[in-house]
Amino acid sequence: MAVPFDLVPTARLSGIHMTGTVVRRFLISYPVSPDVLLDHLPPGAECATHAGFAWVSACFVRMDNMRPNILPKAVGMGFNYLIHRTRARLPFPDGTLREAVLVLQPNINRRLLSTFGSVLTGVRFQCREIDLAEDDESWRIQMISEGEVLYDATILKASCSETIADGCRFATAQEAEDFLLGVSFGGQWVKGEPNLKLLPETHAPCATVACTCITHKNRFLESLGAHAVDADHAITMTNVPHYFGITPIKTALNSAT
């Protein structure tokens, strides 16, 4: 069954798809110049901007019970992933540009799922050590590869609120959520390939809060030439059912460079 392109973010997917529970999600977002993302945009795509900035987010997820929707929770798998992503206007197969997530670097902590995800969906996950530590005052997210710290951030529990902190570039937490999370498709493109691969991702209705985040290391931003960029804020949610498409929808690009 074809997936409608006007799918709302809280719609339940039909047909066979993957489902799981997001036990904890942090979306930590950084303002950058749109120019630093030009090499990552597929032909015909455009950066989505807010307050004059493109937004590169580190999306950490602790997932439980991930499995095809026709199977019981008991057979599901648990894992962590961390995806560097941005919001962009991407070309869909009908020729229309639509707002969606553009996956910039997908990482996961289970090698089997890295291979499975790459083969099944075409999303090329890299296997890394990805951990979430928690104490009374904070959560700490770290991603490590071959002994090198690639991402390291601390989220302060006392800062979490339905109201976004002063100094953020979004007026309200709802405005930030709508811009950063209010889409239903994610896409990945590898430079030189002729197709953009799109997959739907939706979730059950949920409550989110905004928090303050201290970034110790963000190797991906550094690779873009965006050094010493502080996180504007973090958004978090807990215990939310999510639904993921399996078969990618491909957009043939006019000219892959």
Element (H, E) at 79: strand 77-91
Residue 4 lies in a domain: no
Specify the pLDDT at position 121: 66
Question: pLDDT tens for residues 231-250?
Answer: 999 999 999 999 999 989 99
Q: Tell me the C-alpha distance between 177 and 193, whole Å.
A: 31
Question: Distance between terminal CA atoms of the chain?
Answer: 32
Q: What is the DSSP letter of 14?
A: P
Residue 77 lies in a domain: yes
Comparing CA positions, the residue from 137, 138, 166, 165 lying closest to residue 152 is: 138
Q: In what order do the strands lie in the sheet with 148-156?
A: 129-134, 138-145, 148-156, 213-218
Range of the domain at 24: 18-251
Average pLDDT, the chain: 93
Residue 134 lies in a domain: yes
Residue 82 lies in a domain: yes
Q: Tell me the C-alpha distance between 242 and 109, whole Å.
A: 19
Residue 45 lies in a domain: yes
Q: Mean pLDDT across the stretch 7-13?
A: 95
Strands 138-145 and 148-156: antiparallel
Question: pLDDT tens for residues 207-217?
Answer: 999 999 999 99
Residue 2 lies in a domain: no
pLDDT at residue 255 above 60? no
Residue 10 lies in a domain: no
CATH (domain of 176): 2.40.400.10
Comparing CA positions, the residue from 109, 123, 99, 121 lying closest to residue 189 is: 123
Residue 79 lies in a domain: yes
Question: pLDDT tens for residues 66-95?
Answer: 999 999 999 999 999 999 999 999 999 999
Question: pLDDT tens for residues 91-135?
Answer: 999 999 999 999 999 999 987 766 666 666 667 789 999 999 999
CB neighbour list of residue 63: distance below 8 Å, 6 or more residues apart: 20, 21, 22, 23, 78, 79, 80, 81, 242
Which residue is it, tokens 């504007």? 232
- Beta pairing partners, 90: 98
How large a percentage of the chain has pLDDT more than 90? 88
**165: amino acid identity, one letter:** A
Say what the pTM is. Answer: 0.94
Which residue is it, tokens 């239903």? 184
Q: How many domains is the chain built from?
A: 1
Q: Is 186 helix (H, G, I), strand (E, B) or coil?
A: strand
